[in-house]
Chain A
Amino acid sequence: MSAPQLADGSWQYRSINAQNPGLDHLSDGLLDLVEAGVPVVAGTADLQYSNGLVKFAQRHPDRFVQFGISEQNMVSAAAGLATTGVVPFVATFASFLALLCCEQIRMDVAYTKLPVRLVGHHTGIALGFYGTSHHATEDISALRAIAGLTIVSPADGPQLRAAIRASADWPEPIYFRTSRGRDPQVYGDDVVFEFGKGIEHATGTDLTIIACGTQVHPALAAADALRAEGLSVGVIDMPTIKPLDEGLVRSATARSAVVLTVEEHNILGGLGAAVAEVMAEAPSGARLVRHGIRDEYSLIAPPTHLYAHYRLDAPGIAAVAREALA
Chain B
Amino acid sequence: MSMSHVPSSTTLTPDRPTADATLLADRAAFVRTETIRLIEIAKVGHYSSVFSAAEIFAALYYGVMRTDAARPEWADRDRFLMGKGHAAVGLFPILADLGYFPTEVLDGYTRLGSPLGDHPDMTKVPGIDFSSGSIGHALSNGLGMALGGRMAGRDFSVFVMLGDGEMQEGQVWEAALGAAHHRLGKLVAIVDRNGFQLDGSVDDVIGIEPLADKWRAFGWNVHEVDGHDPVAVRDLLLALAERPDGAAPSCVIAQTKKGKGVSYMEEEPGWHLGYLMPADAERAIAEILEGGRA
Chain A residues with a Cβ under 8 A of chain B: 38, 41, 62-63, 65, 67-68, 70, 72-88, 103-104, 107-108, 111-115, 168-169, 171
Contact = CB atoms under 8 A, between A and B. Distances in A.
A61 to B, nearest CB: 11
Given A80-B145, A83-B144, A114-B5, 4 more contacts: A65-B182, A73-B178, A77-B140, A111-B121
A62 B175 CA distance: 20
Contacts of A114: 5
B171 to A, nearest CB: 5
B229 to A, nearest CB: 30
A83 B146 CA distance: 10
B147 interface: yes
Contacts of B122: 83, 112
Contacts of B5: 82-83, 85, 113-115
Contact of B137 (A81, A85, A88, A104): A104
A45 B232 CA distance: 39
13 contacts: A41-B147, A70-B174, A80-B144, A83-B122, A83-B130, A84-B7, A84-B149, A85-B3, A85-B6, A115-B3, A171-B1, A171-B2, A171-B3
A112 B85 CA distance: 15
Contacts of A171: 1-4
Interface of B: 1-7, 75, 121-123, 129-134, 137, 140-149, 151-152, 154, 170-171, 174-175, 177-178, 181-182
Contacts of A73: 140, 143, 171, 174-175, 178
Contact of A77 (B1, B2, B178): B178
Contact of B1 (A68, A83, A88, A169): A169
Contact of B145 (A65, A75, A81, A87): A81
A42 to B, nearest CB: 12
A76 B2 contact: no
Contact of B141 (A85, A87, A108): A108
Given A65-B147, A77-B147, A80-B148, A107 B137 contact: yes
Contacts of A88: 144
B156 to A, nearest CB: 9
Given A77-B147, A80-B143, A83-B145, A169 B137 contact: no
A-B pairs with lowest CB-CB distance, top 6 = A80-B144, A84-B148, A76-B140, A77-B144, A73-B174, A70-B174
Contacts of A103: 134
A80 B151 contact: no
Contacts of A115: 1, 3, 5
Nearest to B142: A80
A73 B138 CA distance: 10
A107 B75 CA distance: 23
In the complex, which of the residues A41, A65, A79, A84 has the most CB atoms of chain B within 10 Å of its own CB atom? Answer: A84
B37 to A, nearest CB: 28
Given A72-B171, A107-B131, A81 B147 contact: yes
A113 B4 contact: yes
Specify which of A68, A80, A113 lies most central, judged by the most chain B CB atoms within 10 Å of its CB. Answer: A80
Nearest to B154: A84
Given A85-B6, A85-B148, A70 B178 contact: yes
A97 B7 CA distance: 28
Nearest to A68: B178
A57 to B, nearest CB: 14
